[in-house]
Chain A
């Protein structure tokens, strides 16, 4: 079985400050890991994914995440927050290849203060 835990349901950052969203996973097999962003009343957009290649993954909009097997973590970061980064972020895990069904974390809502 697989599971995802996102620490912190809400994160508030100042514009220009570092954004750090934490994600820890549990998986019985080498995982595929994803970060998605959701804006109000919309579907999910893929930010980045880890698929057993490089452990440091760069995504869209300046986000990146690092896979740390020893810590079972896949934290998401962005060096400088923009107002447009205010949204809900979901970490997800998939066991195996080719888009098997995803298990999502509880989500973290990011608020960016001017």
Chain B
């Protein structure tokens, strides 16, 4: 099946710094990627929809200036957590839809997730 890779898997940073997380579709093109946030023992909450070549669409309550999303190519989307604080500590997961095999109920492929810890 298709592979989505996230990097880094784990990151620890100091409060006030910025952290960039990459999401790559390794063997398919993805015009649309999704970024989710998962708190411990909770479900996934959609943060934003990342569209190649255009601005991301953020869900209600998600700060656009806090969570910067860039989708510069068909295989890469990045999430930058700016001026991170301890409350930003979470598990961030991306998913991507295969543009060419999108079909009915097209499958979303998920990355392995990136765990961010802000000290």
Binding site for B on A (CB under 8 A): 32, 34, 36, 41-46, 49-52, 90, 94, 97-99, 101-107, 109
| A99-B43 contact given A42-B112, A45-B110, A49-B107, CB 8 Å threshold | no
- The number of residues on chain B lying at the interface, defined by a beta carbon within 8 Å of a beta carbon of chain A, is 27
- Complex Cα spacing A101 to B51, Å: 12
Binding site for A on B (CB under 8 A): 4, 6, 32, 34, 41-46, 49, 91, 93, 95, 97, 102-108, 110-113, 115
User: Which residue among A45, A46, A101, A107 has the maximum number of chain B CB atoms within 10 Å of its CB?
Assistant: A101
- Complex Cα spacing A17 to B89, Å: 38
CB distance from B15 to the nearest CB of A (A): 23
Residues of B contacting A107 with CB < 8 Å? 42-43
- Complex Cα spacing A34 to B106, Å: 11
B42 touches A51 (CB 8 A): no
- Complex Cα spacing A97 to B95, Å: 16
B43 touches A90 (CB 8 A): yes
B113 touches A42 (CB 8 A): yes
Partner of A104, one of B43, B104, B112: B43
Partner of A51, one of B32, B46, B104, B115: B104
A98 touches B102 (CB 8 A): yes
